[in-house]
Amino acid sequence: MASTSLPWGRSRLLSRLDEAPLTVLSAPRGYGKTTLVETWLAAQPDSTVIRVEVPDPGMATQQYWSDLAERVNADTDVLVLDRPDRLCGVTIWEWLRTIRAAHRGLRVVVSIRESTLLESGRLPDPTLTVVTAAELEFTEAEVADLLARRGVSSPERTARDLLRITGGHPALVAIAEGVVRVFGSDLDFERERAYLAVRVEIDRYVEDMLLEEPGIGDMARTIAVLRRPFPDALKLLGIDDGAGTLSGLERAGLLRRMPAAPDPYWTWPTAFRRSVLRIVERDAVVPSRVASVTLARWFADRGEPVEALRHATDGQDWDLLIATLATEWPAIVTTGLGVLVRALQALPESEARANPAVRYARLLVAGVGLTAGSPGYMRGPLPEISVTGTADRDSAELALLTGILRLCVQRWNGDYDEAVRDRDALVTLANRVGESGGLDRRWLSSVWMHLGLASQLRGGDRRTVELLTRAVDCGIDDPGNFASRQATGHLALHHAVRGEPERAAHWLRQEARFGERAGWIRALVERPAIVARALEQLDRLDVPAAEAAMDELDEIDDELDELGAFVAYVRSQLDLILGRSEVGLDRVDRSRDRLRRRLGPTAAAGPLLTAASMDLHTAAGQAARVLAHARLADGPMHPMMRLAASRAAMCTGDHAAATAFCTPLTGRHVSGTRVRLEALLIAATLAHEQGSDDEARIAWERATATSRDSGLVRPLLTVPPAIRDALTAGGDAIPFADKLAEWGDGPYPQPAPLVTLTKREAVVLDGLARGGSLAQIAESLFVSTSTVKSQRHSLYRKLGVHSRRDAVLEAARRGLL
C-alpha cells in the first residue's frame, strides 16, 4: 500500500486533534489517519500514551474492552484506538463513555472506517470532534507545500494539476509526489509523460490494493457506471443487496458514505472511479450501454436530469439526451454544466442538426469557451425558432425553453436589441406556460431571470425590476434555487448602479437568505450580489468593506463574464476615490478593449465605463480635454456622460457649459437617483460660485434630502468642504458629515473661478505655452518687452500663479489653452 506519511503543511488537521477530549477520525483506508495520529503524538513527547492497534477480528468484544480498562490508569494522558469498529457497532460509544467517566482528564482519539457509527442520535458526546474523509483530503496549498519541500519544480502549477488528477486523496497524493519527483528538473518539459505515469501508478494501486479482495473487484467494475451509487440504483444492475455491497466497497476504501444525508448514499473519490473505468476499458469489459440507458431513464423518471443526461451520454441514447436537454436545461446549466458540455461534445452532428435547442446550446458553450478553442462571438445566422402560435402545452414549453437559449446566445454576442425584441414574445409565452402549470417554479425562476438579465444588460429598460422580481418570487423560499438567488443579486446591482444603496441593501439581505455559498457555481450565481455589495458600500463611503467585497470575486477573465464591464466600473470608482486615477484609466481602457462587443450603443455598461473614463481624466487634471471631447459628441448624450462633462466644465471654470450639461438632469422626471443627486450638487456649487445663494440653497436642500432618503453619500464629496459649510450655514446639518470629514476635498480638483482673458493676455499665454521667450512674444505682437511683462503679470494674477510653468498648467486645467 502506498505510504501516506505526508505531515507537512497539514497543521489544520493537527489542530483538529486538539479541539475536544474525544476525536473521531472517520474515513476508509488510505486516508492517512494513522500517519496523522503519529505526527500529532510526536508533538506531545511528555504525554503518557496508550495506543491500541487494530484488533484481531476473532477477538471477543468483551475481552477487548476489559483489557483496555485494565491498561488505562490515572497517569494515562492519551488513549488512541485503531479500528475498534472492527469488533463492535454502536456499543463502542457506551464503552468509551464508561472509560472516560472513570478517567476525567483522559483524551481519546478513535480511528474508524464504519461511517454508519456517526449517524445522528448515536454519538455519546455533542462536543466531540469528527474529522471526515473530505477533511483528510489534501488542499491545493498543502500539495504545493509538499512539492516545494520535496524540491519539485513549479510546485504551484504542479499542485494544481495533481489535485485535479488525484482529487486530494492522501494515498494518491503520495503516489503522485513520488512519481513527479523522479522527473526532477525535466518535469517542466515532460509534464504530459509525468502525469501519464501518475495515472498508471494510480491504476496499479487501485487494482493491486483495492480491487484485490474477493468479490470487491467485480462489484466495483459493475457499479463504475454510477457516479453516485446508492442501493436502489444497484438493483437495476442486478445487485439485490445494494447497501451491503456499497458498505463492503466503502470498507475496502473505494467509496465514501455520506452519513449526513436523509437518504444515505455513497460517492466515489473521483480519481478512483476514473481509474476503475480505465481498468475496465483496458480489460475490454466495457460497461453495458444497456445498463447506462436503463439508469438514464430511471434517473429521468426520478426527476434527476443531470444524472439522466450523464447516463444517456454513456449509453449513447441520443433521443433521451436531446429530450432531456431540450426541456431540462435550466436545471442542468446551474447544477451540471460539465455534464452538459460532455453530452454536447458526444452528440453526433447528424443528431444535433435538426434540433434548435441543441444547436443553441452548442453555440452557447462554444462561445463562452467551455469547449475546445477560444471563446468568442458566435458568428453566422442563429437557427430560427417560433415562440408564438404553439398548439399545445408541451410545444409551448419547448418553444419557451429553446427561445431562452436563443436569447442567451444573443446576450453573449452583445446583440442586446435582438435579445429584447425576442424577450417580449417570450414573456407572453412564459405567462402562458406559468398559468398552465407546465414548468415548476425552479424552471420558471430561470426563465424570468434570463429575461430580466437581457433587459438589465441592454440598459434603459423599465422591465428589468419587474422580470427579475418575478424570478425571485418563484424561489425566495427555496434555498437551492440558484436562478432566484442570482436574480436577487442582479436586482441589488441594478439599484446600486442607479445610486440607491438602501434598495440595493434590501435585495442583498434577500440574497443572504439563500444561505451557504453556491459551491462551484458561485462565480455565476453570487457575482452580481458581490459586485452590488461593493458598489453599495462604496457609495456609503465604507471603502474597506467595498475593497473586501471586490476581493471576494473569483479570478475570472472579464472576457468570460457578462458582468465584466460592471466589475470594471466598480473598480474604477474605487481607483477614483483612492486617488489612483492613472491606474483607473489603464484598467478602464483594458476592459473596454476586452469587452468591446458588449459595449455597444444600447448596452447598459458602455456609458458607465465612458463616464468613468471621463471622471478619471478630470481627476487627473485633464478636465479641459474631457470638456473638448464632450462638445464634439454627436447626438444625445447619456445622463452619466452628461454629468461627467458638467463636472469637467465646472473644474475648468466654464460655468455656462457646466450649467447647460447638468440642468436637464435636475428635474424630478429623471429616473436615476445617482444622476439626479449629482446634477443637483453641481447646480448648487455653480449657483454658489455665481453668488445665487437662494438658488444654491434650494438645489443643496433637494440634494441632501435625496442623499438621506437613498443612503447615497459618495457624491457629496464632489462639493468642496468650504461650499458645503456655506450652503449648510443656518440650516440643517450636513448629512453624513462624519463620513465626509474623513475624505477632505474629494477626488476632483477644486472648481476654479471663471477667468476671462483679454485678447492680448490670451496671445501672451499662447506664447508662454509654446515656450517662446519674452522678446519673441513681444516681437510677434509688435510691442516692447516691458508691455509683455505687464501682460504676463496680469495673467499670473488672474490665474493665481507665480511662474510660467504653473501658468501653463493652470490654464490647461481651466481650458484656456
The predicted-structure confidence for 338-370, as pLDDT tens digits, reads as follows: 788 888 888 888 887 777 778 777 777 765 555
Q: What is the four-CA torsion angle of 305, 307, 308, 311, rounded to 10 degrees?
A: 160
Q: Which one of 108-117, 413-422, 583-592, 720-729 scores highest in mean pLDDT? A: 583-592
Task: Pick the range with the lowest mean pLDDT from 48-62, 432-446, 497-511, 587-601.
Answer: 432-446
Element of type H or E holding 131: strand 129-132
Helix (H, G, I), strand (E, B) or coil at 800: coil
pLDDT per position as a tens digit, 242-255: 888 888 888 888 88
In this predicted structure, what is the pLDDT of residue 375?
A: 45
Q: 391: pLDDT confidence band, cut at 50, 70 and 90? A: very low
Q: Greater confidence, 248 or 732? A: 248
209: DSSP letter: I
Grid cell at residue 655: 460655468
3-state secondary structure of 159: helix
Whether residue 212 is predicted with pLDDT greater than 80 in this model: the reply is yes
Q: Is the pLDDT of residue 380 over 50?
A: no
Predicted pLDDT of residue 290:
79
Q: How many Å apart are CA 249 and CA 268, to the nearest integer?
A: 10
Residue 410: pLDDT band (50, 70, 90) is confident
Q: Provide the 10 A C-beta neighbour count for residue 101.
A: 9
Contact 609, 567 (CB under 8 A): no
Alpha-carbon distance of 491 to 466, in angstroms, equals 10
CA 21, distance to chain mean position in Å, is 39
Which three cell numbers mark 278?
Answer: 480505465
pLDDT score for 636: 85
> Can you tell me the distance from the alpha carbon of 411 to that of 262, in angstroms, rounded to the nearest whole number?
40
> Rounded mean pLDDT of 162-169?
92
Please compute Rg for the chain using Cα positions: 35
DSSP structural state of residue 189: G
* Local confidence band at 204 (pLDDT 50, 70, 90 cut-offs): very high
Please tell me which residue, 414 or 553, carries the higher pLDDT value: 414
Can you list the alpha helix ranges (DSSP code H) found in 87-154? 91-102, 133-136, 140-149
Q: pLDDT digit string (tens) for 141-153?
A: 999 999 998 888 8
Between 169 and 215, the more confident residue is: 169
Q: Is the pLDDT of residue 374 over 50?
A: no
C-alpha closest to that of 47 among 93, 98, 105, 7: 105
Is 745 or 241 the better-scoring residue by pLDDT? 241
d(CA 433, CA 422): 16
On average, the pLDDT of the chain sits at 83
pLDDT tens across 476-529, in order? Answer: 777 778 888 999 999 999 999 999 999 999 999 999 888 765 555 666 788 899
| Distance between CA atoms of residues 484 and 444, nearest Å | 9
pLDDT digits (tens, 9 = 90+) for 309-347: 988 998 889 999 988 887 787 777 666 767 888 888 888
Q: Is 713 within 8 Å of 736 (Cβ atoms)? A: yes
| Cβ-based burial of 535 (10 A; exposed 0-12, middle 13-18, buried ≥19) | buried
pTM beyond 0.75? no
Alpha carbons within 13 angstroms on the beta-carbon side of residue 86 total: 19
pLDDT value at residue 500: 94
Predicted pLDDT at 497: 95
pLDDT score at 3: 44
C-alpha span between 549 and 569 (Å, rounded)? 14
Closest by Cα among 38, 54, 110 to 80: 110
- φ/ψ (deg, to 5) at 726: -65, -40
